[in-house]
Amino acid sequence: MKILGISAYYHDSAAALIEDGEIIAAAQEERFTRKKQDASFPENAIKYCLEYGGLELKDLDAIVFYDKPLLKMERLLETYYAFSPSGLRSFLTAIPVWLKEKMFLKRTLKQGLSKIGEYDAKSVKFLFPEHHLSHAASAFYPSPYEGAAIMTLDGVGEWATASIGHGKGKEIEILKELKFPHSIGLLYSAFTYFLGFKVNSGEYKLMGLAPYGRSNSEEVKQYKKTITSELIEIYEDGSIWLNQKYFSYATGLRMVYDDKWETLFGFPKRASESNLEQHHCDLAIAIQEVTEEIVILMAQEAKKLTKSKNLVLAGGVALNCVVNGKLQNSEIFENIYIQPAAGDAGGALGAALAAHHLFFKQERVIDTSKLDAMKGSYLGPEYSGLDIELMAKKFKAKYHFSEDFDDLSKQIAKLISEGNIIGWFQGKMEFGPRALGGRSILADPRNPEMQKKLNLKIKYREGFRPFAPSVLAEDVEEYFECKSTSPYMLLVHGVKESKRNKVPENYDDLDLMDKLYFLRSDLPSITHIDYSARIQTVHNETNPRYHQLITDFKAETGIGVVVNTSFNVRGEPIVCTPLDAYKCLMRTEMDYLVIGNHLFSKAEQPEWLEKDDWQEEFTLD
């Protein structure tokens, strides 16, 4: 049975292909179009999935969209009616688009598919599971658990903004739902907006900024008191009620009423790209801690309802790695699994899996010899030696080819240990927002200057942003307070006490940048300001080349950890092709690029004659 899943028309469009329940391919449209979070019909992603699966549209049993557009339309109309007469401008903007493009979504999908190939509309079924069911399926079915509690949390689907479910075998039952306009995802996005970051892409910046806040200070305590007394009511089961007097997302074109928030918190909305001050950091830690409280309560309710020892998570809020780490440390559940493409892109995969197991009633098979069914999330395109050489020929690029990858790996490990920054392009592209050693930029975590250099000269992004460590799975407990695997970089845990340096007595009085550049541990480039790290455990069975490189780096330095950041500049999607990778090398101060067995030294490359306008090409996120 061959099923294609699609997500589109909101943000982060994607396609996924499964065959007889096995995940064959999955990719986000942004990687092909080079438009970050591209919401358009995922024509390129679909073409890739079909090509990799050796299929045409006519070979499919079903095409599945990740939510129900008519229910969304119902929510939109009822919301405008409930809030009228406010929101007229937003209504006049949104409704024509819905009527033209989304009301008749099946027709719109068929128009997009017609550009890809032909199929028999009578033999290929079109299915539309609900949004949060797609999220639930994306987390439960690839997990290694026969049974599990399921939590989905995001901004909003059709009506639901969060859900608790129970997965057993091939069945999923949704037990509880939180309904719009009350949403933990929209709450967090509202603070993302007020603190000057872009909604739907800047939430991870808010998460990274939070540790600069003074958690136990009177200022933070007051912010939390204001949040929980004026903006939100939190119930014992983790459900919430948001005071719509302060929020304008339901019918407006912004997230909040700026003037009311300024009165609440004592300072205006931060302008994008302006300086960050201590009150911004304090408000960030306040909403982060409130979010953690809500998720913990919801997990306790999920445990009470399901009695399961396992929990699986999906939805955009499940990308909050700090929350995930706190949830794991709470030990409410023995085991936690998070879908690596937890946002809307993963909804394409979940939709296909839901159709397979729930609509077509196909049994579920769990391979207990593997971490999960996601294949390390390496589900995107890969490129041959010929592809690499043709790209090099186009730009007259110079490279060194190594017949023996073992020798190349040792050479790269040595280059990293000498302070070089490496673009690492190997095998299949990752599915989801994290670079996991397929499309990564790598560096030495021991280097005290590396965080600053990577942020300012490679990524061209805000200096406060932390970097993640990739660690050999077998060594994780040597460096981090983490007793589980974390293959998808979705858990934050502390750096081991034995690796930490003590902070000076006046540490809390230092400004943000002075705190940032204090050497906090033996691995300063991956240790965040609160001694935490967003960990990726690297497994030989899912990425043998990356595992070998870190093993060689350990042999060279004694440290089985490297810095891993996504292979892109700010505002750019992660690179997909050898061409994308070479352009990134030439546009930045990266030192080397490794694509397969081909090594490109920046110093040896011909003059870059392409118009270098990436700042204009990619909108800052």
Q: What is the per-residue pLDDT for 370?
A: 94
Whether the ω angle into residue 504 lies within 30 degrees of 0, i.e. cis, is: no
Contact 396, 606 (CB under 8 A): yes
Contact 470, 595 (CB under 8 A): no
Of 371, 334, 324, residue with least CA distance to 473: 371
DSSP string, 128-147: ---HHHHHHHHHHTTSS-SE
Compute the distance between CA of residue 294 and CA of residue 388 in angstroms, rounded to an integer: 48
> What single letter denotes the amino acid at residue 274?
S
Nearest-10 crossing angle of helices 218-226, 258-265? 140
* Entry pTM: 0.95
**pLDDT tier, 265 (very low <50, low <70, confident <90, very high otherwise):** very high
- What value does the mean pLDDT take over residues 187-204? 96
**pLDDT tier, 516 (very low <50, low <70, confident <90, very high otherwise):** confident
Q: Does residue 98 have a pLDDT over 70?
A: no
How many Cα atoms are found within 13 Å in the side-chain-facing hemisphere of 121? Answer: 7
Q: Does residue 614 have a pLDDT over 60?
A: no
**pLDDT tier, 21 (very low <50, low <70, confident <90, very high otherwise):** very high
Phi, psi dihedrals of residue 320, rounded to the nearest 5° = -80, 95
Q: Does residue 620 have a pLDDT over 90?
A: no
Q: What is the per-residue pLDDT for 59?
A: 97
Domains (range + CATH), the chain: 1-139+342-373 (3.30.420.40), 143-338 (3.30.420.40), 385-617 (3.90.870.20)
The residues that bridge with 350 in the sheet, in sequence order, are none
**pLDDT tier, 105 (very low <50, low <70, confident <90, very high otherwise):** confident
